[in-house]
Amino acid sequence: MKRKITFMLLAFWVAALGWAQGYQNPVISGFHPDPSVCRVGNDYYLVNSSFEFFPGVPIYHSKDLVNWQQIGHCLTRPSQLSLEKIGPSGGIYAPTLRYHDGTFYMVTTNVTGRGNFLVHTKDPAGEWSEPVWINVPGIDPSLYFEDGKCYLTINPDNTIYLCEINPQTGEILAPRKAIWSGTGGRYPEGPHIYKKDGWYYLMISEGGTEYGHNVTIARSKNIYGPYEANPANPILTHINMNAQYNPIQGIGHADFVQAHDGSWWTVCLGFRPQSGLHHLLGRETFLAPVRWDKNAWPVINGDGTIQLEMDVPTLPLQSVAKADTITWFSKPQLGFEWNYLRNPALGNYQVLEGDSLLRLRATTFTLDDVDTLTFVGRRQEHISFVARTALSLHEAMAGDEAGVTIYRNNQAHYDFYLKQLAKNKQAIVLRYRMGKLTHIEREAELPKVVKTITLQVTGTNNDYQFACSLNNGEYQPIGRIDTRYLSTETNGGFTGTYIGLFAVAKEAQSKAYADFKYFVYKENK
């Protein structure tokens, strides 16, 4: 009885003080790499890399660092983000988000465009400025504001450089100076500067964004150095034996934030292997607490590792609206979770609000092409999931097709689609592209032209399973393909898997279009 009373008193004080206990990683699942975070009062904002997908740089909001809700994108206009004909894993790398004197700044690199630039806004959920170009080489730019000055850190050549810039014009106000090269790990990158207790702390990632990824830190009394490395580096890594069997691997590219209650936290990327040592979802966003005593080095989660189930005190948790499992295409604009490949030809996409249809007009660009194809998709966010859509194909010529693709890049995708064979003949087709190999896994002619066909994809740890239903009938299995052939370990690159809707015309004179009635995506628990 005494023990029960003690527990009840503890629970009362936890509730009274507003504490919460525990959360689940990742805090933003699926392809959300290179997180950068900032705080404004009691609000937190976070951005991620977006590479060849448009709009660019998704931005999230949270009240507790655990529950995040997307509020838009930083780069929504072609004038901000040129992605024309860029290859896989090109485009936008490693953004940094900072807030200073009433203005939000997002600085990043378009590696296949003009290079480094920043955009700014007063309202992070609204429109951002046109690019302010910064004429410095390198990637992974970050900003630090102090005493009316803005400093830029960047990695041009396996060394971190620092210079002062004008954030309104991009002008370089002082020569660049090399300040640290890390501890000897390859690819020192992702630099961020923080000031605490009179020390400037410079945190970077080393080891490459793979299994050997890690985070290291150094400090100096002068922002230009020299910087002294932490004797306990790395401060975050899963390369050691204590995380050998951790279901999260490749952690790194971290950013610190001090919460409104004075506690310190870090966001970082990592990935969850499946089907052996393969990962398909891309690099995701994880959260961990930081102990940072006065004049001491920061310690992340006690031993520099993180877990899926984090049994640690948190800020008072505040739930956010969960994303709908079904999209009815009844609003004029698609939700923030949807992306195009490269800059879209918007005339090929139409939401018919009255009919709750998404109409995709077919073009001759295919999923194998690095061009302006008709494709719109959303991230695969779970290892186990179900995705489903119902579609009809209209005014199609022989060879025209429309359907669903499980898409990694133009050389790695699994396509499940309705194909026009002749005027009154259609087939359901399952095809895969693996590098230079394209193969029709199955093609089944339908008994008649259908008004609507439902396509379903079920994702598991080891395979994708494909099934279809004619006119709302029973689902018929069509085939399954191993997941590992779409993994980063097989294909390289920095992106994750998308579930896309597409339409392709065999000939330029075709007027084919596909109408999608809805799209379902939900986790299979």
Q: What is the mean pLDDT of the chain?
A: 94
Residues 6+ apart with CB under 8 A from 86: 52, 112, 342, 370
Which residue's structure tokens are 């009373």?
Answer: 5
Determine how many CB atoms are found less than 10 A away from the CB of residue 158. 13
The domain 21-314 having CATH identifier 1.10.3720.10: the answer here is no
Q: What pTM does this model have?
A: 0.94
Architecture of domain 326-523: Sandwich (2.60)
Radius of gyration of the chain (CA): 24
Distance CA 409, CA 88 (A): 6
Task: Note whether 516 and 330 are within 8 A (CB).
Answer: no
Q: Write out the residue limits of the CATH 2.60.120.200 domain(s) in the chain.
A: 326-523
Q: Token pair for residue 407?
A: 């898409």
Q: What angle do CA 81, 53, 415 make, to 5 degrees?
A: 150
Distance CA 359, CA 91 (A): 27
Query: How high is the mean pLDDT in each 10-residue block of the chain (525 residues)?
Result: 38 47 96 98 98 98 98 98 96 98 98 96 98 96 97 96 97 96 96 98 96 97 98 98 96 98 98 96 98 98 98 94 88 94 97 92 97 98 97 96 98 98 94 96 90 96 96 88 96 97 97 97 93
Residues 6+ apart with CB under 8 A from 426: 393, 418, 419, 420, 445, 446, 449, 450
| Model pLDDT, residue 340 | 98
Q: How far is CA 490 from the centre of its chain?
A: 19
Catalytic residues: 34, 189
Distance CA 234, CA 251 (A): 11
Dump pLDDT digits (tens) for 263-285: 999 999 999 999 999 999 999 99
Sequence-distant contacts of 108-113: CB under 8 A, at least 24 apart: 108/49, 108/57, 108/141, 109/138, 109/139, 109/140, 109/141, 110/81, 110/82, 111/139, 112/83, 112/86, 112/87, 113/81, 113/82, 113/83
Q: Write out the residue limits of the CATH 2.115.10.20 domain(s) in the chain.
A: 21-314
Task: Note whether 425 and 448 are within 8 A (CB).
Answer: no
SS3 content of the chain, % helix, strand, coil (to 5): 5, 50, 45
* Nearest CA among 369, 473, 485, 364 for reference residue 428: 473
Distance CA 429, CA 401 (A): 9
3-state secondary structure 407-435: EEECCEEEEEEEEEEECCEEEEEEEEEEC
| Model pLDDT, residue 12 | 39
Alpha helices, H only, 381-505: 488-491
